[in-house]
Structure 1
Amino acid sequence: MKIRRNTPDQLILADTPWFIGIMLIIFIMAFVGPGILLMSTGGENIWFGLIFALGGGGLGFGAFCVFVRRVQVILDRNKDSVLIRRQSVFGYQAVEHKLSNLSHAELESTTSTREGRTSTLYRPVLVLDNGISAGRHPIVEVFTNGSGSHRMVSAVNDWLPARVVDSDTQSA
């Protein structure tokens, strides 16, 4: 994800997976093109070409549907809103929360061990303390190992107003 706008009134985070999308389109065309070419030659090649085009192209299209999702998060002080927009091949979804209910952002992590090596993956989540939608709301659905999740959490926490801490309050 990238920071698209960072002003005192608005923070916009966006993720458009161009690279993955373009690579999957090339993958699809690598199967559909030769498959159509084989079908056009006629004879027994029609079935092989059809299976090649539908099989490879279908797998590529399935991967495109699963992995290519546009995400945009808009934090707006003037509207007191947090808007999370997601768009995929299957449609568009927008969820809105009150900015005043947003406490902070943090990282969720998952750890896996493979062949003796441990790897930790992260995703940024928004934590809402109050309101009807109180809880943890992931910004993106997938966990990644890059530094993007850390940057998003830092950007949101730096942008949010500083919370006033009462130093006279004692806790047991």
Structure 2
Amino acid sequence: MKVRESTPDLLVVEYRPVWMGLGLIAFILGFVVFGIAILSDGDTLRGVTVLLLGLVCGGIGFGAFVRRAQAVFHRPEGWVEIRRRSVFGTRKVRHDLSEISRAVVESLSDSARVSLVIDAGESAGTHPITTIYSSGDKQPVADAINDWLTRARAP
């Protein structure tokens, strides 16, 4: 997760799972090559099984884990929008900037994610920017969001 843009009026925080996507593509291609090799040896049933297994498992993994997430904080219009994009489509959730109390890091074992906290109102609770936990230090991103929120609220 990285800060892509930080100006007094706009903050964009983004998570792009490029390595996860490339790894799953390599997984799928490995099964495809192996399946084609088996097919070329004349074992049709085993070759098709390997091909389908790689395509189905790799496709499910790709759909489940390769999701781009973005949080856009827009001071002039007073909103923050959490955008999540996968092969299945895009989902956007918008909150008033004044509702966001702070950003926190949620940890699970040795992985973490950044979440936005809304203390009161209809949307009260913790709203993760990404749906998955990933490795790496997320505290600098949470600090950047909190610093930007402090500056945006200053008169």
Same fold (TM over 0.5): yes
Unpaired segments ≥5 residues, structure 2? none
- Matched positions, count: 153
| Superimposed CA distance per residue, residues 33-77 of structure 1 (whole angstroms, 9 cap, x where no aligned partner) | 2313433554xx111110111112322222111110000100010
Correspondence 1:97-112 to 2 at 5 A: 97-111=95-109
Question: How big is the alpha-carbon RMSD for the aligned residues of Structure 1 and Structure 2?
Answer: 1.8
Structure 1: tracts of 5 or more residues without a match: 112-119, 165-172
**Counterpart pick for 1:72 among 65, 70, 75:** 70
Q: 2:150: which partner in 1?
A: 161
User: Which protein, 1 or 2, shows the higher relative CO under an 8 Å CA cutoff with sep ≥ 6?
Assistant: 2
1:49 corresponds to:
47
- What's the TM-score once normalised by structure 1's chain length? 0.81
Query: SS state of the match for residue 150, structure 2?
Result: coil
Q: Which has the larger radius of gyration?
A: 1
Q: Is the 8 A contact 1:27 1:57 kept in 2?
A: no
**Counterparts of 1:127 and 1:121 in 2: how far apart (Å)?**
19
Q: Which moved more, 1:86-95 or 1:32-41?
A: 32-41
The 2-side partners of 1:22 and 1:64 are apart by 10
Corresponding position of 1:167: none
TM-score (norm 2): 0.89
More helix by share: 2
